[in-house]
Amino acid sequence: MDLLGNLNDKDLLHLQCHFGLDTLSMTRLGANVTGVDFSETAIELAQKIADRIGVKAKFICNNLYDLPKLHDGEYDIVFTSCGVLYWLHDKKE
């Protein structure tokens, strides 16, 4: 997570967070994190993990393409990892 710099008090949107392990790591590094994934099962698990370890994070179950219509938020950082790029249907090759 060093590539993201100092995360203290940064509002961070983690797209395609799956079950939230990186999301929760960024929260532990000081960020105020919202994780988004299209899988209801993954989001439910992410919230259970957060509750179990006592880490505050917000999780939203949504397709990232529809997110601007349903979620109004401003963020200092928008993050997604290279491992999830495969799932983006409109990327240029």
In a domain, 25, yes or no: yes
Pairing of strands 32-37, 58-61: parallel
pTM of the model: 0.85
21-28 and 40-53 helices, crossing angle to 10°: 30
In a domain, 20, yes or no: yes
Structural domain count, the chain: 1
pLDDT per residue over 45-93, tens digit each? 999 999 999 999 999 999 888 888 888 889 999 888 766 665 566 656 5
In a domain, 8, yes or no: no
CATH number of the domain where residue 34 is located: 3.40.50.150
User: Which amino acid, residue 49?
Assistant: I
- Kindly provide the residue ranges of all beta strands, DSSP E only, lying in 6-87, ordered along the sequence: 11-15, 32-37, 58-61, 77-79
In a domain, 87, yes or no: no
In a domain, 79, yes or no: no
